[in-house]
Structure 1
Amino acid sequence: MKNKTLAYGRQWINDDDIAEVVRVLKGDWLTQGPTVAAFERALADYAGVKHAVTFVNGTAALHGAMAAAGLGPGDRLLTTPMTFAATSNSALYVGAEPVFADIDPATLCLDPVKAEVKLKELPGRVRAIAPVSFAGYPFAMEPFKKLAAEHGAVLIEDACHALGGDRGGRKIGFDADMTVLSFHPVKHITTAEGGAVLTQSDAYAQALRLFRSHGITRSASDFEEEPEGPWHCEMQSLGYNYRLTDLSCALGLSQMRRLDAFVSRRREIAALYRRLLSDVSGLALPPAHEGHAYHLFPIRVEAAQRGPLFAHLAENDIRLQVHYSPVPHHPYYRKRFGYRWGDFPEAERFYHEAISLPMFPLLEDADVVRVADCVRGFLER
């Protein structure tokens, strides 16, 4: 009998999710309605912050955060090379330049020591720092808070991998000036596509809401001119149509009710992988942390074995992924900024050795055993 095909990630949609979407479909508001506000309130309450501002996807949310932070031409964003391109691309969208510091191999996240070196190389030019909680690992935020304060930078956590994780007894989303989330189908909850920015700041929240809606406000308290009538609205800045629909938010609101269960199951799967693979020679497991959200479970093997292992798993109907090719080494970045292999040795070493095993709540224990047996069999052979 043919094995079922396993991917590295996938969504979990149940009947309650479908019923919530159908309820909104049958209602009066498909977009810009009350379900958006309800989903935003649920996100903010979960993270313990004042505001959650939703966007059409995580990239739009990052774009909004960079704009709200005031980045523009002549400014720099400091981030990690080990992330999806959207983190640094969002700086380019507002006319700023992304710069990179290498990762800490113990966390796979931006190394604060190397970040400090880069900040000293660019005194007064780094307007924002965007560490990434890679794979869901809740890196220590205090060193970055200190660096941001010392250098007058806005601290933006890219937590697109980390919703539901914990840092210092608090849910991720509380510690930075702005925290960005993604609701892509492989993430901890999904709205099909979607994203959000969490913040304690009224000013950032207002800027984010303007940015996602063409820069237009309909709030009388914010008007710069005398209103001509109840229809009055004002475009006060250049924004985009980045609004998330009520349909998407209905799905997200329903998924939020199971978020803790989703994260708990991811942690169980990670623990089982660790038990099954910890004694395999030539294999390194990802860094552990009690607050880890486990969006990904990236193992490391010798660089020469990564491709053959990937192919072997594919032959056994296990379809995996590699996260990520270091952003500065994409052709666009190399051509525009002149980055070369060797500039970020830790990120490059990780990339050449990494492969992400299946990690999503619908995985059964037998699926995890099957993957682990396949990995073990190849490496021991």
Structure 2
Amino acid sequence: MKIDKAIPYGTQDITQQDIDAVIAVLHSKFLTQGPLVKEFEEKFAAYVGSSYAVAVTNGTAALHLSAMALGVNADSKVITTPITFSASANCIRYCGGEVVFADIDPETALLDINNVRAILEEHPKGTFSGIIPVDFAGYPVDMAAFRALADEHGLWILEDSCHAPGAYFTDKNNTKHFCGDGSLADLAIFSFHPVKHIATGEGGMITTNSEAQYKKLLKYRSHGMVYQGNSDLIENHGGWYMEMQELGYNYRLSDINAALGVSQLSRAQLGLQRRHEIAKRYDTAFAGTAIKTIPVKENVYHGLHLYIIQVENRKGLYDYLRANNIFAQVHYVPVHLMPYYQSLGSKKGDMPVAEKYYDHCLSIPMYPTLTDDEQVYVIEKILNFYN
């Protein structure tokens, strides 16, 4: 089989419905923050099962505002995973806090709760402020277990669900917990970068079940200001009146982005179903070979943002696939090995499981518009390389 066009590891799917939704906004009264932002927030909250949602400019902004709302400051120490995009850790540094990395589970590549527990037990209670688990590749973290651990040590939880809208796990009581539904984490965040499940160009969302946190986030998103008619106003000079009560940022999403988000959200579940079809074919193709895949527990519905294999001679396979128009990717270079974090004291050898995972991992094409023929071609090339 020969495929002439490039096959990326992930890409957006823009339909005529999406284009029409954006054009409608361009003909409307609102280009920046308007009614479609609120509509997107409400529909997304309903999709993941949370009480509140706050739309922002991107996933990094969502992390930053969440860290602010949770009170991160120079006295805060927060535990997170090294296998994630660096923003999961950087948000703590933005607020002056200290990042403490814990290693990953060798089976799932998620933050290892046993390693987190060991770190907590090595220090007096009160040393740490919170935990940022990441639903890496779309695999839901066992938030019930992390919630119990966090409660034992008086910690908040910020769930990074950028990879996992629509994913869930079922707990021992047979209750489904969707990523970002607010049932177990204090706050959760999502990204709408083009390679994610829902694309808005750039965009992010924070979800929570806390009304108090919701109100904080709305304020922080818009320069720390409150406006005429808001009960938090100290005084009211007239209909024009606004006041900056705290230091905030301009992290507002536009109606243009929100229109695309609403349109994309309407077919998000279909996209997830297609991702599972693709994953099943990969699972079957690689079973019984030396190509290692990540097993999924029976109580988990995977979000499948990424399909990751672990292989020997990863660089050789990566180059071979690129030579054959297949643009695989590596997720991620461990954050603790980034020069910035090494300058703060991290070093090679600190996270042996994460570092071993990094040496072998490769994300191969996974997106709803990947055709059956393209996937057959990808599988054929991977198997040919090793055979």
TM-score > 0.5 by shorter chain = yes
Any conservation in 1 of the 2:228–2:236 contact (CA below 8 Å)? no
1:173 to 180, 191, 196: 180
Alignment of 1:37 with 2:38, yes or no, is yes
Alignment of 1:70 with 2:71, yes or no, is yes
Deviations 1:204-251 (A, max 9, x none): 111111111100011534334220111111111111100000000000
Any conservation in 1 of the 2:226–2:233 contact (CA below 8 Å)? no
What is the CA–CA distance in structure 2 between the aligned matches of 1:171 and 1:142, rounded to whole Å?
Answer: 11
2:327 to 290, 313, 319: 319
Q: How far does residue 328 in structure 1 lie from its aligned partner after superposition?
A: 0.5
Corresponding residue number in structure 2 for 1:208: 217
Q: How far does residue 369 in structure 1 lie from its aligned partner after superposition?
A: 1.0
Gapped runs of 5+ residues in structure 1? none
Deviations 1:311-368 (A, max 9, x none): 0000000011100011000011101x22111110110000000010001000011111
| SS class of match (1:279) | coil
Task: For 1:56-205, list aligned pairs within 5 A.
Answer: 56-123=57-124, 124-168=126-170, 169-174=176-181, 175-205=184-214
The Cα RMSD (Å) is 1.2
Q: How far does residue 301 in structure 1 lie from its aligned partner after superposition?
A: 0.7
Report which stretch shifted further, 197-206 or 220-229: 220-229
Q: How far does residue 74 in structure 1 lie from its aligned partner after superposition?
A: 1.3
Any conservation in 2 of the 1:300–1:355 contact (CA below 8 Å)? yes
| SS class of match (1:228) | coil
Q: How far does residue 287 in structure 1 lie from its aligned partner after superposition?
A: 2.5
Q: What is the one-letter code of the residue matched to 2:63?
A: L
1:359 to 358, 366, 370: 366
Alignment of 1:244 with 2:245, yes or no, is no
Any conservation in 2 of the 1:46–1:171 contact (CA below 8 Å)? no
Deviations 1:287-327 (A, max 9, x none): 2244001000110012xx11011000000000111000110
What is the CA–CA distance in structure 1 between the aligned matches of 2:101 and 2:228, rounded to whole Å?
Answer: 39
Distance 1:223 1:2, change over 3 A: closer
Q: How far does residue 171 in structure 1 lie from its aligned partner after superposition?
A: 2.5
| SS class of match (1:102) | coil
Deviations 1:75-114 (A, max 9, x none): 0111001100000000000111111110011211001111
| SS class of match (2:189) | strand
Q: What is the one-letter code of the residue matched to 1:141?
A: M
Deviations 1:144-188 (A, max 9, x none): 101211222111100001011122234321231111100000000
Q: How many corresponding residue pairs? A: 376
Distance 1:240 1:122, change over 3 A: farther
Any conservation in 2 of the 1:50–1:199 contact (CA below 8 Å)? yes
Any conservation in 1 of the 2:58–2:204 contact (CA below 8 Å)? yes
What is the CA–CA distance in structure 1 between the aligned matches of 2:204 and 2:236, rounded to whole Å?
Answer: 33
Give the share of equivalent positions with the same residue, in percent: 43
| SS class of match (1:167) | strand
Distance 1:219 1:61, change over 3 A: farther
| SS class of match (1:196) | strand
Any conservation in 2 of the 1:266–1:294 contact (CA below 8 Å)? yes
1:230 to 225, 228, 239: 239
Alignment of 1:291 with 2:298, yes or no, is no
Gapped runs of 5+ residues in structure 2? 171-175
Any conservation in 1 of the 2:228–2:239 contact (CA below 8 Å)? no
- TM-score, length-normalised on structure 2? 0.95
What is the CA–CA distance in structure 2 between the aligned matches of 1:342 and 1:278, rounded to whole Å?
Answer: 31
- TM-score, length-normalised on structure 1? 0.96
Any conservation in 2 of the 1:321–1:356 contact (CA below 8 Å)? yes
